Structure formats: structure tokens, C-alpha cells
Amino acid sequence: MSLEEFYRHFRWWMEPGDDGALRRFKAIVSFFEGQEVAASKVLDLCAGTGIAGVAAAKALSASELTLVETRKEDMEKVREWLEIAGINPKLSLVAGDVLKLPSLVGKHDLAVLWGHTMPHFDPFQAVTLFSGVASVLSDDGAFFIEETDRIKRFLFGSSYRDFLVERRTPEYVLVSLHEGYDVRRGVERRGYYRLPGFERIADMELRLWDLASQLALGRIFFREAELITPGEHGVSEVLVFRRPKGKIAREVYSEPQNSMGV
């Protein structure tokens, strides 16, 4: 049961023909237009259809755009977003694992990880992710992550349930069940089922990240870190890391990271 199968059922607002996705695209463009960042080369990680990468490239007048994504079918839709945006940067589509980033791409000025993606990475994988991103950014580069605080939401709010309705469509309902916790990796195991019929469609291991932990982790590999809270820009919280510590990042990235601490 793959991540691809999960995302066939759990579709975030990223389809070029969807009105909600178009509103989201415009909000991302507006957000990046308001940021003090210059980038001729934009790198979109876990890109999906490339909605965030194209929005950033449009806002910043970037000349090159690279997408990294395991789902090739989704990634091909970036051409529709480019047409909507009315831009034509040099495009590179990389089908691969973002945890192997330095072996996949060259130097970029801006990296974006958009759409609340961090739960897919346990703390050890997150070290590899951050160090890898810092390794491929230019000296004045920046890393933007759209995220939300799941500790606040799930532990201090009321959103967490053993049985949770994840998505409703006219054709089916997608639900998830809590099925365990891995103390060594700090991830929850959830099973995803399609109703009616209670068809099991995916097994997921998810890390319930808070924002402070990500800021602290990123500060190891970047000289500047800040949190932009939701406002008029229409996106979620955004973590911003600037000026990568390339030497430290490359050294850490070269070291194996695993849950045993070896």
C-alpha cells in the first residue's frame, strides 16, 4: 500500500482545473510577492502538481524551476500550472526521494516544501531533509516550509480522534484509525480505509510535528530562522530559513541517520 495509492484518494487542493486549487495558487503567489527574497532558481520539494513551485517562480520571476516528486503522474501537471501562470521557466522534473536531494539536483536559490508535508518525515529523516536542502542552496538561499502546529491542534485542541474522517467526496469517504506508535522513531501508525466497504487503501506512519521543533532543527543548518503566522496572505504558518550553513549541512548529511542513534 503505497503513498501513491493514498494520494489517489486524499487529494489536496493542487489540481489545475479545481477552483479551490486556483484560489490557493493565487494566495501562494501573493505570499511570495510579499517576501524579501530573490531567486532565479526555484526548487519545489514533494511537489505534487507543482502548484507552489510555479507560484513562487511567477512571484519572483525565476528563470528556472525544478520539481522533485515520487509521483510522476502528478508532476506532469505542472505544465498546466505554468500555462495558468503565464510563465515559461526552464523546467526540470526529477522523479526521486527528497531525502537523497544532493544526488538529484544542483544549486538553487530557493527551496519550498508546501502543503503540510512534514508528517511524512520522522525526526531522523528530518535531519537528512534539512541538511540535504541546506547543502543544495546558494550561500544566500532560503528554505520555505508551509506547516501547522500539530501538537497544538491535536493535543491541546479537539481534532485528534482514534477514528477520524479524513475526506468526504460524493463517491466515497476516507477514514483513518490509530493503529500504534513507534517510540524509537516518534511516529504514529494509522490505517486508511475507504467507505462504503471498509476497503483498506494505505498504511501511513506520521510524525505529529510542532512548529518550534522544526524551527530549532532548521536553525542548526541555517543562520536565520523565523515563523510567519497566518494573515492576509491566505496560506498556513510558514517557516523560513535563510543563509544555509553549507559545510555543517554537508557533514551531517554524509552521516547515517537512524532511530537507533548509531
Contacts of 84 (CB under 8 A, 6+ apart): 16, 22, 25, 54
* Burial (Cβ within 10 Å: 0-12, 13-18, ≥19) of residue 135: buried
171 and 212 part of one domain: no
Backbone Cα Rg of the chain: 18
CB 108, CB 136: distance < 8 Å: yes
122 and 244 part of one domain: yes
31 and 47 part of one domain: yes
Confidence of residue 1 (pLDDT cuts 50, 70, 90): very low
| Mean per-residue pLDDT, 132-138 | 98
241 and 144 part of one domain: yes
Assess whether pLDDT exceeds 50 at residue 261: no
Contacts of 200 (CB under 8 A, 6+ apart): 1, 191, 192, 193
Is residue 225 one of the residues assigned to a domain?
yes
Closest CA to 98 of 118, 84, 74, 82: 118
106 and 61 part of one domain: yes
220 and 92 part of one domain: yes
Dihedral angle, C-alpha 8, 14, 20, 23, nearest 10 °? 180
186 and 135 part of one domain: no
199 and 102 part of one domain: no
Confidence of residue 18 (pLDDT cuts 50, 70, 90): confident
Lowest mean pLDDT among 1-5, 61-65, 153-157, 170-174: 1-5
How many separate domains does the chain show?
2
223 and 129 part of one domain: yes
Closest CA to 237 of 128, 150, 130: 150
20 and 32 part of one domain: yes
Confidence of residue 8 (pLDDT cuts 50, 70, 90): low
| Mean per-residue pLDDT, 116-134 | 96
- Give the Cα-Cα-Cα angle 43, 22, 59 (nearest 5 degrees): 45
Is residue 195 one of the residues assigned to a domain?
yes
Is residue 259 one of the residues assigned to a domain?
no
Q: Are strands 173-182 and 222-228 parallel, antiparallel or unpaired?
A: unpaired
End-to-end CA distance of the chain: 29
Q: What is the pTM of this model?
A: 0.87
102 and 22 part of one domain: yes
Closest CA to 123 of 62, 182, 204, 164: 182
Q: Domain range holding 124?
A: 3-149+208-253
25 and 114 part of one domain: yes
